Structure 1
């Protein structure tokens, strides 16, 4: 499906990505899905703050810690 997926924590600012899988436990997966960071969600990486990442989905901004961002696998959106 996606040739190159990688952890969200590795994405460069300005990159548009799509969530392809969640690697946390059931509790973390549920929490992320409730926040709207589910499989298929399109995100724009805004910045890296320390070890964390700031992303937007539509008009909503999310600040994620490094550990959480490392468990969200993404792939770059082509043509975005």
Structure 2
């Protein structure tokens, strides 16, 4: 079974996803780790603008992430069966 991996920048609002990879230089990766955006973490896109920033919910926090950053975070959709 193949898992569909896509950049966070392509995820629609209200979608729940799991982080599977973070690419980019050490500074970008450290910043994302500091924000809690790490492999295995589930998050929900709460707001997004076409070709612009998005707001994601991680645990009890809301984070605004720019387009360049969201292109470096790769995610897979959370399937309904996995949400239970």
Q: Give me the TM-score of the superposition, normalised by structure 1.
A: 0.92
- Where structure 1 has 5 or more consecutive residues not aligned to the other structure, the ranges are none
Aligned to 1:20: 20
Q: Shift of residue 2 of structure 1?
A: 6.2
Q: Is the 8 A contact 1:54 1:63 kept in 2?
A: yes
Count of aligned pairs between the two proteins: 80
User: What is the root-mean-square deviation of aligned Cα atoms in Å?
Assistant: 1.5
Structure of greater Rg: 2
| Greater strand fraction, Structure 1 or Structure 2 | 1
Q: Give me the TM-score of the superposition, normalised by structure 2.
A: 0.88
Distance in structure 1 (CA, Å) of the matches to 2:62 and 2:11? 16
Aligned to 2:29: 29
Aligned to 1:62: 63
- Where structure 2 has 5 or more consecutive residues not aligned to the other structure, the ranges are none
Aligned to 1:78: 79
